[in-house]
Amino acid sequence: MLSKSYRLKEREIKKIISRGKRFYGSVLTIRFFFAPASGFAIVVSNKVSKKAVIRNRIRRQISEIVRLTMLPKLKNKIKAVIIVKTKNVTFKILQNDCEQFLREAN
């Protein structure tokens, strides 16, 4: 789980989704914009899976990727909402999409 300082509030999430730039990966859509401080939100809807266990596992995997890979490598501070599109994902696929995003965002 991300530390509280990196989590976004609901009003920030709505603002980013409505006005942010878009990145489309194979299994992720990332809405973001540059900001003075970094923050992330992870959205896994019921359309992905009806089972909370599967949704929470995907959410935990993405938060670990953000914590270990994205935060240390970010050159610019961003606020981002990471939206999962499909349930057939592996950790490696999620990691590849996040690395592609990092290349575009930096």
Looking at the whole model, is its pTM more than 0.85?
yes
In angstroms, rounded to a whole number, what is the distance separating the alpha carbons of residues 101 and 54? 24
> What pLDDT, on a 0 to 100 scale, did the predictor assign at position 27?
93
Ordered by start, the domain boundaries in the chain are: 4-105
**pLDDT digit string (tens) for 19-75?**
999 999 999 999 999 999 899 999 999 999 999 999 999 999 999 999 998 888 888
Query: What tokens does 16 get?
Result: 């980013």
Banded pLDDT at 78 (limits 50, 70, 90): very high
Query: What tokens does 21 get?
Result: 């730039």
> What pLDDT, on a 0 to 100 scale, did the predictor assign at position 56?
94
In angstroms, rounded to a whole number, what is the distance separating the alpha carbons of residues 63 and 69? 10
Fold classified for 4-105: Ribosomal Protein S5; domain 2 (3.30.230)
**pLDDT digit string (tens) for 84-96?**
999 889 999 999 9
**pLDDT(104) > 90:** no
